[in-house]
Structure 1
Amino acid sequence: MGSDLGPSEVVAAAKLALDEFPDLSPLTLVGDEALLRQLAQEAGLAGHPKLAFFHASEVVTMGDKPLLALKRKKDSSMARAIELVKNGEAGAAISCGNTGCLVGAGILKLRTLDGMDRAALAAVIPRANGHFVILDAGANPEARPDHLVHNAIVGSHYYRLVFGVERPRIGLLTIGTEEGKGNTLVTETHEMLKRLGDLIHYLGPVEGFQLFADEVDVVVCDGFVGNICLKSWESLAKFFVTELKAGLLANPIRKTGALLVRGAFTELRDRVKPERYGGAPLLGLRGNLIKAHGSANRQALKNAIYDASEMIKTNLTRHIEADIARANDLIGLVAR
């Protein structure tokens, strides 16, 4: 119910997902049940065997303060969706709503994995010859070195399961690759990551210009830096696509040339558009939670639904806890 485009876009995404992925897990739409049923009927989903509804009378808005929303809006669609995961009635929850509220509700209701006290948003971004994952992409603007170490662990597992790479290359984002370059958070995290040995494939510090080359698979940073990187990339991708299109259509000669390269241009546009990567999973919780953009359209939400279904199948959280415990031993961290 917290989508910028309204619940009709979410229902449209559900229809796309159910039509395109016949083996998809059943979906439950959480929110104003009467409205959702009406929208589902208009979308041709009335009576669909894989679609259910769960009523929630309140909505968390983008302007709500996380703590107040958690206390005052206990019957919000966001809270109820997460509770379905907590109670085992759903395998994953997807929300377009307020990020701070989602992170807070996720940690409060699902709890973090043993040995962790923070979760991280993982965003997939295209690069040469594939993709890299950046985390944290906005869940924790202020982080400690051990939080970033945990980001490296969960990021490595996520990349391995999503892209099939056995030992993903891990890089710590900073302003220079020389030893000692960067702020205190970076230098302390670097020393801890070096102590993990063969637990992960740690390359060391990486700079911004390395991210889009085929040099690193998982980029570790705090949520403040990660969120700026993510939104800058999304804005830049849209800028280049718009400018390239305008340039190709500027005059008749260019239009003729554009016809010859239309296939390549379409492929590039589809590869870099943000909606291709439906949402960012909040990793490190005892349940699957995906944060989609507030402005996510039906295509993006359809992809988020598919990603959630895949996370359920792979049982991602089961593979992480043992490595978190081992990492904590190696860096001398007493679990809080």
Structure 2
Amino acid sequence: MEAAIPTAAQTVPPIERVNRIAVDAMGGDLGPAEVVAAAKLALSEFPDLSPVTLVGDEAIVRKHAAEAGIENHPKLSYFHASEVITMDDKPLVVLKKKKDASTIRAIELVKLGAARAVVSCANTGCLVGASIIKLRTLKGADRAALSAIIPRDGGHFVLIDAGANPEAKPEHLVHNAIMGSHFSRLEFGIEKPRVGLLTIGTEEGKGNALITQTHEALKRLGDLINYAGPVEGFQIFTNGGEHGQAIDVVVCDGFVGNICLKSWESLAKFFTTELKRNLMANPVRKLGALLAKGAFGELRERVKPERYGGAPLLGVKGVVVKAHGSANRQALKNAIFDASEMIKTDINQLIENDIARAQALIENAGEA
């Protein structure tokens, strides 16, 4: 028999329920102990952090919390869920047959108003699909987008969409530009993030119909976003150089974005593996590697995908942060903190406001 989810009032104290973060304790590759350790770090390092609810098998989660010394932390609560989503599960199958999965229950807490944010390492397809179906999209936006943080020379950029919507229309990419700009402001403190539209050439008319139409629409937004124009793949990892200033937000559809993200992750792993193999090839190189150990360690940490916390699913009614499946406690701690900051800044209201403004600007420009 399906387990019934309590009402919001039964789940958490009424005073705290709005700003609560529901953390999926069962979805990661490293298990619930690592999630609990991340919650401990977040609660200890960020005094203003929103309250946290750990969602999963309560007996297991409480055991790890007791071992970590935070079982009775005043900002920590528990919500029991008896099932776990695997990496092989399909979204529609999960919604029908795993209704008591920790990921689904965490999303439902947001739907009920018992929490405002979800953090999960679970299967991307299931997390994205369930979030869109259960939470629905923001007013004015009929698609959601994943935003990923990627290192570049001298900083980072936001890639959006990283895989949520593979078949986009021009209006979806316009919304991606708006959502990515707001996330870049929140994450990096950039007042006017420079937005680039990823394509195969910077000349006017270069690219397919989707790119051409999106480019024309973005030009009509005026100072709503800081649109830098079309950008090519070799520009996004530079700090500008001969091509001008660095790009802070790279806009594309989910098909292109997911290929970019996975290619970068694979390339980062390839270079670190090759570097290690070559440095260990003979005694002289080993000595050089020992002398440069600190520099290589910093490089490895900088290109490690999981160190950047999580990828927010922007455009849904609620805050949803997708952490890497293999995220460790440090990455999960950062994802929990990001979720808390997104709640405090009310990023969704800001996005809704700018989507409405963008629509008006585009319509007025078309009538002129």
TM-score scaled by length of structure 2: 0.85
Shift of 1:203: 1.3
Deviation, structure 1 residue 291: 0.8
TM-superposed CA distance for 1:109, in Å, is 2.5
Measured in 1, the distance between the counterparts of 2:117 and 2:137 equals 15
Residue 279 of structure 2 corresponds to residue 248 of structure 1:
yes
In the alignment, structure 1 residue 33 sits paired with structure 2 residue 58 = yes
Give 4+ residue runs of structure 1 displaced > 6 Å after superposition: none
Distance 2:342 2:363 in 1: 31
Deviates more, 1:276-285 or 1:24-33: 24-33
Taking only aligned residues, the RMSD between alpha carbons, in angstroms, comes to 1.8
Measured in 2, the distance between the counterparts of 1:164 and 1:297 equals 25
Q: How does 1:313-332 map to 2 (within 5 A)?
A: 313-332=344-363
Deviations 1:70-116 (A, max 9, x none): 23333221121112223332231111112222122212222211111
1:10-52: CA deviations, max 9, x gaps? Answer: 2232233334334432221101111211222233333233321
Deviation at 1:278, TM superposition (A): 1.2
Give yes or no for contact 2:306–2:326 (8 Å, CA) kept in 1. no
Q: Aligned with 1:122: secondary structure?
A: strand
- Residue matched to 1:271: 302
Of 159-168 and 20-29, deviating more is: 20-29
What are the superposed Cα offsets for residues 164-208 of structure 1, whole Å, 9 maximum, x if unpaired? 111111111111112222222212211211221221111111111
Separation in 2, partners of 1:59, 1:259: 43
Aligned to 1:144: 169
Task: Please give the secondary structure, in 2, of the residue aligned with 1:30.
Answer: strand
Q: Using the alignment, how far apart are the partners of 2:281 and 2:330 within structure 1?
A: 29
Cα pair 2:147 2:311 within 8 Å, conserved = yes
Identify the residue that residue 213 of structure 1 maps to in structure 2: 238
Equivalents in 2 of 1:32, 1:332: separation in Å?
Answer: 51
Instruction: Give the secondary-structure state (helix, strand or coil) at the position aligned to 2:168.
Output: coil
> Could you say which residue in structure 2 is the equivalent of 1:96?
121
Partner of 1:226: 257
Specify the alignment match of 1:175 in structure 2. 200
Deviation at 1:122, TM superposition (A): 0.4
Could you tell me how far 1:64 is from its partner in structure 2? 2.4
Match of 1:51 among 61, 72, 76: 76
Contact persistence 2:307–2:327 (CA under 8 A): no
> The residue matched to 1:332 in structure 2 has which SS?
helix
Q: What's 2:333 paired with?
A: 302
2:23 matched residue in structure 1: none
* Structure 1 residue 12 corresponds to structure 2 residue 37: yes
Task: Give the paired residue count.
Answer: 333
Mapped partners of 1:241, 1:64: distance in 2: 31
The CA deviation at 1:231 is 1.2
Letter in structure 1 aligned against 2:291: L
Percent identity over the alignment is 75
Determine the C-alpha separation between the residues in 2 that align with 1:129 and 1:284.
29
Please list, as runs of the form range in 1=range in 2, the aligned pairs for 1:106-117 lying within 5 A after superposition: 106-117=131-142
Which of 269, 279, 282 matches 1:238?
269
Q: Which runs of 5+ in 2 are unaligned?
A: 1-25, 240-245
Q: Please give the alpha-carbon distance, in whole angstroms, between the structure 1 residues aligned to 2:179 and 2:40.
A: 32
CA–CA distance in structure 2, aligned partners of residues 238 and 309 of structure 1: 30
CA distance in 1, matches of 2:88, 2:138: 29
Equivalent residue letter for 1:190: H
220-229 or 184-193, which deviates more:
184-193
Q: Which runs of 5+ in 1 are unaligned?
A: none
